[in-house]
A = this chain, B = another copy of it.
Amino acid sequence: MHSRWPRLDGLAYGGDYNPEQWPEEVWTEDVALMREAGVTLVSVGVFSWGMLEPRPGEYEFGWLDRVLGLLHDAGIAVDLGTPTVAAPPWFLLHHPQARPVTREGLPYGNGTRQVHCPSSPAYAAASSAITRELALRYGGHPAVVMWHVNNEYGAPLGECYCETSAAAFRDWLRARYGDVATLNDRWGAAFWSQRYGHWDEIEPPRTSGTVVNPALRLDYARFSNDALLDCFIRERDILHELAPGIPVTTNFMATNCKSVDYWRWAPEVDVISNDNYLVAERSDNYLELAMSADMTRSLAGGGPWLLMEHSTSAVSWQPRNIAKRPGEMRRNSLAHVARGADGALFFQWRASRYGAEKHHSAMLPQGGTDTRIWREVVGLGAELAGLSALAGTVVESDIAILWDWESWWAQELEWRPSAALGYLDRIRAWYEASWRAGLTADFASPGADLSRYRLVIAPSLYLTTEAAAANLGAYVAGGGTLLAGCFSGIVDAWDRVHPGPYPGALRDVLGVTVEEWLPLREGERVTLTWEESAPAAVSGATVWTEAVKLAGGKPVAWYADGPAAGGPAVTRNDLGEGQAWYVSAATDQPATAALLAAVCEAAGVSAPARPAAGAAWPRDLEITRRAGPAGRFVTLINHGSDTAEILLGGRLVSVPSGEVRVIEGDTA
């Protein structure tokens, strides 16, 4: 019925375009400058509900007709927004019961975006109506190549605690569990006298005197994700029905949105697209960027995806919005492309003169075209046009890293062994080690088919269902190498501890038991060694250690000191055709890198290039490959301050500081 990719050639280039903020005379200039910059695709109307439907049921489409016409005449394709993230002010006046409510019980005010409860029937009706009107009017417009539904679902509001949500939650539970007795069992309702006799007794997990049932928290997170996903599906289905053939996207925030489980969303979306904004204070934020891009590609099943938003320079919502340095925007954009994006778009085309985001950078800054940013924007447009051969090629990855939103939710509830052991911290540690080793990682769900990977890392899998444990066991038995990080395998989908010694669901796969968790004090640090009683240090760990006992596994590294001193810190278990490693500590970067090198060697995984003779691998060099019928392309991006030299296919390649090289040809 509908294509999974928009009618676009080469790599898309452009950004959010909000013409409703400008008088019409500016539109002409916009389109001319877009052409100068090589813009091929713009997202239009994402926040325009109030301009399209100024009063309930009264529509003003004329301005949008003219905008689309201008763009189409200029050969610029349109990703047309359903503007449903920001209901106009009339909405809450007419539907006060649709107002979102915080966990503390406070209603949110108007005067901003997302002023609706996701479960509100009034919102469902109003958002469906405007979506239907847009589909009918523009579904056949030649400029429209894609629908952009809503915007960044889950931010700022991932959860609502109003009475409407409470009732919807009870319906959701009834559908999930059938009867209250089953719910009581799953939720461990015997604890603290929480046994339910009737669905009506159930409330959302509102702020309480002390900790709320963790299973209730988890199910509310699932329900909230589903409530948002239902909003998306409702609009998508309207669009599919009324405007067949036009693919639908909604912009994700891949690794930056805790409240949305994108593994559940990805199959529902025609085109995977992503927004990526960096933590400006961090000078190594290209690591974050890579992680976000790899996750987006993984959500797209390894196929192409779109970078829907990033910034040309500073954002405006961080404490200190550091501007990007010359060349940095280019490196950012090309890094996304190198990791599978078939287009790089920005928020936004022209900097707003007013509103909450006017100090956010744009393709066309407040200062106009005589600016560094504009010149770089034009340059990038030309460069992307020259790289159109990359479009449609597929990224080659080396390993998989497991990522699971449910485990993230569960691990970071209150009353955990150590609040200092963060879910993302462990993911980032292993991701960074693999990036710096020159490897490209896919992300995968714990239940996914992993058989095509030689190495799978599960840095942080506190919540491990029995099905996931079985999947991982089968993967290892079938010849795979699994490396599991500390505090994994502990609970089931309702935060119930798996019976028997830790690590519960993964005990048999890993061949160890953990007698006790030994979290470290603030500032405490322990040393890991390769030998039981020798000084060859793997290096250190902080935050977390464990008292590990071998149960089939063999020791790989030892605790030299700390509360687990003398015990195994890292183990390896031979299982079937494969191996399962266990790293029981929150290792620091040196230790993580050393352990990654060891497990890669065991698994037969290696980087696609080699260090130059007598030199170390340049740790700030990004290397990725895309390949397809059109050829094979290696992208090298040097984020460091020195020239990087490597051997690629036996040839010495040199990349100056800050530079990017896209090398075509079979370099393996």
Contacts and interface: CB of A to CB of B under 8 A. Distances in A.
A613 interface: no
A354 B497 contact: yes
A667 interface: no
Contacts of A75: none
B354 A496 contact: yes
Interface in A577-615: none
A525 to B, nearest CB: 14
A356 B214 contact: yes
Contacts of A496: 353-354, 358
B111 A208 contact: yes
A416 B358 CA distance: 9
A516 B357 contact: no
Interface stretch (A44-52, A236-244, A654-662): A44-52
A106 B495 CA distance: 28
A90 B198 contact: yes
B366 A502 contact: yes
A547 to B, nearest CB: 8
B356 A115 contact: no
Contact of A105 (B106, B313, B359): B106
B191 A111 contact: no
A44 to B, nearest CB: 13
A521 interface: yes
A367 B211 contact: no
Contacts of A88: 193-195, 197, 201
A485 B89 CA distance: 38
Interface string A366-405: 1110111100000000000000000000000000000000
Contacts of A520: 320, 322
A578 to B, nearest CB: 26
Contacts of A416: 316, 359
A368 B514 CA distance: 11
Interface string A27-66: 0000000000000000000011111001100000000000
B515 A112 contact: no
Contact of A211 (B216, B356, B500): B356
Interface residues of A, number: 118
A518 B326 CA distance: 12
A320 B418 contact: yes
Contacts of A325: 563
A619 interface: no
B111 A193 contact: no
Contact of A50 (B21, B194, B316, B563): B194
Contact of A209 (B18, B90, B157): B157
A112 B353 contact: no
B212 A111 contact: yes
Contact of A522 (B189, B210, B281, B518): B281
Contacts of A317: 211, 414-415
A100 interface: yes
A519 B109 contact: no
B195 A54 contact: yes
B316 A197 contact: no
Contacts of A356: 191-192, 210-214, 414-415
A475 interface: no
A354 B516 contact: no
A213 B355 contact: yes
A511 interface: no
The 7 closest A-B pairs by CB, nearest first: A188-B354, A191-B355, A109-B206, A86-B193, A89-B201, A50-B193, A50-B195
